[in-house]
Amino acid sequence: MRGSFIKLSSRALISFISVMSLWGCAPLSGADASLAASKTQVRLGVVLYNAADPFVVNICDSISRYAAEEEEASNIKIIIDILDSKNDQTLQNHQIDQLIKQKYDAIAVNIVDRAEAANIIDKVKEAKIPTVFFNREPVPQDMNKWNEVYYIGSNAAESGEMQGQILLNAIEKGERFDRNRDGVIQYVMLEGEPGHQDSILRSYHSIKLLEDAGIKTENLAMDTAMWKRGEAKGKILDWMDQFGERIEVVISNNDEMALGAIEALQAKGYFDNNKTIPVIGVDGLDQALQAIKQDKMLGTVLNNADEQGKAIFGKLYSLGAGVQSRVVLDYSADEKYLWIPHKIITKETIN
């Protein structure tokens, strides 16, 4: 049956962890011990909206790492199947049906289409399989359909505000982004997928923070590049042809698209001979950090994939195994939501 699942072979994505180890087994007490005694193995399913998305791969990497650590330290065998939904909700529904049919102990869902959450929640509720959504947030009405449904992610509005703050900090330090001196910052906005909470709220809050601080802005162009570098590069090339030097700032809903923007700008002669333009992203991908160090990017906002993966694994394991995971998280969480804070990254803060 396992063979019917799509297995991922990349370094980052494991489909199966089964190193049984009694080493380092911490004694459990009371209720935990009796629950643990009843389970020698836990089966966890993780479905990814698209394993071609570098940020999602980073989360997945982290889930795998913490699962391996947990197994090392406990006497419960951990089986994790990680499935790539290839940006196809029909495929994802099928994968979730399979996990349910095989009675997995807990499931983590990186949903393709947020509008599909109610349907998935109905199914896992009926099968009584606790489910953790991550990165792509269902609306509260859906989250409230069952008390064993959780969300782990980062607050989208906060990341947008921090993008605005990066620009504001630079302006307050004396950077002159207003090249044509008209008292207004002309910007273009690269957006992620339409309907994704991070696209909607990052676009809105980045600009709102500037406007609230008294900075006048004008949007020259704004369009989706679907989180993708290649599409973003194409958009910026078009916008450069259309607006040229009038573009004073490039704001991007994520780093992948910011990196695409940088490639386009470079092709148009930027970042050479002191010709520069501020580009701001979100995520904190390694290549974005490199671009910041090379003065090709003004800054990014850390969307902490490592901590998100850690929290997802910890929750999933605790729900599935019925014993507390060894993962320690210093974040406050309410019954259903756990939020990992963002952080501003600029040249000054990179060590």
Binding site for ligand BGC (CB under 6 A): 53, 55-56, 135-136, 196, 198, 227, 254, 256, 282-283, 303
Q: Which is nearer to ligand BGC, 105 or 198 (CB)?
A: 198
d(CA 296, CA 294): 6
Smallest distance from the beta carbon of 282 to ligand BGC, in angstroms? 5
CA distances (Å), 293 to each of 10, 25, 197, in order? 28, 43, 29
Residue 293 token pair: 């160090």
d(CA 254, CA 191): 8
Radius of gyration of the chain (CA): 22
Which residue bears the tokens 């195994």? 321
Cβ distance 291 to 283 under 8 Å? no
Smallest distance from the beta carbon of 198 to ligand BGC, in angstroms? 4
Amino acid making up residue 210: L
Smallest distance from the beta carbon of 215 to ligand BGC, in angstroms? 24
Which helix H or strand E contains 82, and what residues bound it?
strand 77-84
Q: Which is nearer to ligand BGC, 249 or 302 (CB)?
A: 302
Q: Does the CA dihedral 281-228-151-57 come out positive or negative?
A: negative
Q: Which is nearer to ligand BGC, 163 or 325 (CB)?
A: 163
Cβ distance 49 to 13 under 8 Å? no
Cβ distance 45 to 7 under 8 Å? no
Q: Which is nearer to ligand BGC, 150 or 227 (CB)?
A: 227
Smallest distance from the beta carbon of 38 to ligand BGC, in angstroms? 36
Residue 112 token pair: 């393709």
* Tally of CB atoms within 10 A around 214: 7
Which residue bears the tokens 């957006």? 191
Q: Which is nearer to ligand BGC, 196 or 235 (CB)?
A: 196
Smallest distance from the beta carbon of 218 to ligand BGC, in angstroms? 25
Smallest distance from the beta carbon of 285 to ligand BGC, in angstroms? 8
Q: Which is nearer to ligand BGC, 217 or 303 (CB)?
A: 303
Amino acid making up residue 338: L
Beta bridge partners of 108: 46, 132
Smallest distance from the beta carbon of 160 to ligand BGC, in angstroms? 11
Smallest distance from the beta carbon of 220 to ligand BGC, in angstroms? 23
Q: Which is nearer to ligand BGC, 42 or 132 (CB)?
A: 132
Backbone angles phi, psi at 130, to 5 degrees: -60, 140
d(CA 60, CA 305): 8
Q: Which is nearer to ligand BGC, 100 or 250 (CB)?
A: 250
Q: Which is nearer to ligand BGC, 36 or 120 (CB)?
A: 120
Smallest distance from the beta carbon of 40 to ligand BGC, in angstroms? 35
- How close are the terminal C-alpha atoms of the chain, in Å? 48
**Residue in 287, 284, 281 with CA at minimum distance from that of residue 167:** 281
